[in-house]
Structure 1
Amino acid sequence: MSLALSFFLATISASMPSPREIRVLDNESALAEAVAGFLASTIEETLRRKPRVRLVLSGGSTPRRLYRTLAQPEWAKRIDWTSVLLFFGDERCVPPDHPESNYAMAKEALIDPLQIAPQQVMRLRGEAEPEEAASHYEATIREAFAPDQTPFPRFDLIFLGLGDDGHTASLFPSSPALREQRRLVVPTSSPVGIPHRLTMTFPLLNAAVTVVFLVTGSSKASILRRVQEERDSAAPLPASRIRPANGRLIWYVDRAAASALPSA
């Protein structure tokens, strides 16, 4: 197999809202290249149908590697970033220049190198009072999708990560945010690290056209397997509850993270 581009694709299509695809790459570098190619194709195809692409970014070390790959000249010239609106799936309640801000990471790795215009970047205001910030971001999302009046706007592509406890975005196990059915964005709390967070909710995430998880490293092997096995359990982990109602769910993982999965 080619180190950079090879993967196996397992499509599991049981009685679920959408099948899931698991794409396994040799390492984190190969994963970043593969996802960059998928993103470039998705943006190109979407722009054939409409004038704007609405993309939700994730925080974390694996997305950082992806963003830095996308900022390289060979990828930068393949994507029309002037037609992309950037959003964030979650944020810590910190100022935008804080070292643990998802926005700060994306700004350093992607936004500034590509000179993406400020009006194309819809950041969560982590420095504001959490309820106010959540309401403001919901209004920002609805304005970006106007005149669409659907209860849950349909993002073209959402990137997500996977925490060691099975959380995704800032939807943590046992959090009241897991029960939210009406709001697009809510304040929440983390059991570790910076406690106060803001997060998109399940109904909004599951309305997307495509959701892509990015998972790397042997430390994620056991939780990745649990998430895949618990999709149909009575109390699934938060990441197991990402099931686009009318869209695609794709897991890009490296071989280390996939080491505990059953063989394709």
Structure 2
Amino acid sequence: MSSAPLVVVHADADLLARSVADRLVTRLVEALSDRGRAHVVLTGGGMGSAVLSALGEGPGRDAVDWARVHVWWGDERFLPSGHPDRNETQAREALLDRLPLDPRHVHAVPASDTPGVGGVDDAAARYADELARVADHEGAGREGTPAFDVLMLGVGPDAHVASIFPEQAAVHEQERLVVGVHGSPKPPPLRVTLTLPAIARAQEVWLVAAGAEKAQAVGLSLSGAGPVQAPAAAVRGRRVTAWLLDRAAATTVPPALVRIASP
């Protein structure tokens, strides 16, 4: 497991999005060179879409052999397919539909109108099965997930990550890798989320946050808060845990933790 988190502060949200996009290209190219395939877990929200848009506009996009990249989601709103609030829909509009991805490698969370899906818990179980299927195919079946190269997370003003909210049941989950969320404090109430044990399977976890409204949550998470109070505080990658921030979101970060500051 990675040791102290890397904290990188950028001048503003636009520069942050472009920097994360460039960082993602570099990491995917490395993974493809090393293993011939790559797995990235996307996040939703404004910054998740901004990173994808920046990636689509940058020259680095063409350096990636997208046909060998697998795309996953850290969480999803349990809504009908194509709904504008689904993370999958937003990611497709921001970039994915313009990339030469293999459709078999785009692993969307089952929607509420997916035939045969009996509810949010069933959708979570099916996503866990998909993770296990790919892991088994790639020889990592014992893990229950494929080898995530990069797992990106947004950070909510309440310090939630994915759909793991403070004091909610998902933050206590230690066994299952995917769970259904009932009664989310942020609408819609039904969601599917990777759990903290699943997130911890990633080689690199990047927490991306911008804006003054995120500052308190970022500072709390980096100052020793417990996971029940601040789920983001419990997030760790196997090799790297990086907090990628703009200046507005970093105002409460202990100065000693800031290891890189971009102009």
Q: Is the 8 A contact 1:27 1:256 kept in 2?
A: yes
Once the two structures are superposed, residues 122-151 of structure 1 have per-residue CA deviations (whole angstroms, 9 ceiling, x without a partner) of 000131411211111111111112232223
Q: Is the 8 A contact 1:173 1:238 kept in 2?
A: yes
Say whether residues 1:196 and 2:190 are aligned partners. Answer: yes
Report whether the alignment pairs 1:263 with 2:255: yes
Structure 2: gaps of 5 or more residues: 257-263
1:206 aligned onto 2:196: no
Q: CA deviation at 1:235?
A: 4.7
Extract unaligned runs of 5+ from structure 1: 1-15
Q: How many residues align?
A: 247
1:3-43 per-position Cα deviation (integer Å, ceiling 9, x unaligned): xxxxxxxxxxxxx8522000001111111121122111111
Q: How far, CA to CA, are the matches of 1:17 and 1:49 in structure 2? A: 20
TM-score by length of 2: 0.89
* TM-superposed deviation, 1:256: 0.9
- What amino acid does structure 2 have at the position aligned with 1:121? V
Name 2:168's counterpart in structure 1: 175
Residue of 143, 151, 154 corresponding to 1:158: 151
**Corresponding residue number in structure 2 for 1:130:** 120
Q: Which of 52, 55, 61 is matched with 2:46 structurally?
A: 61
Q: Which has the higher contact order (CA 8 A, sep 6+)?
A: 2
Alignment partner of 1:143 is 2:143: no
Task: State which of 194, 210, 231 in structure 2 corresponds to 1:216.
Answer: 210
Change over 3 Å in CA distance of 1:73–1:162 after alignment to 2: closer
Fraction of identical pairs, as percent: 32
Does the alignment pair 1:87 with 2:72? Answer: yes
Structure 1 length-normalised TM: 0.88
Task: Give the CA deviation at 1:247.
Answer: 1.9
Q: Is the 8 A contact 1:230 1:237 kept in 2?
A: no
CA distance in 2, matches of 1:122, 1:243: 23
Q: Separation in 2 of the partners of 1:111 and 1:242?
A: 26
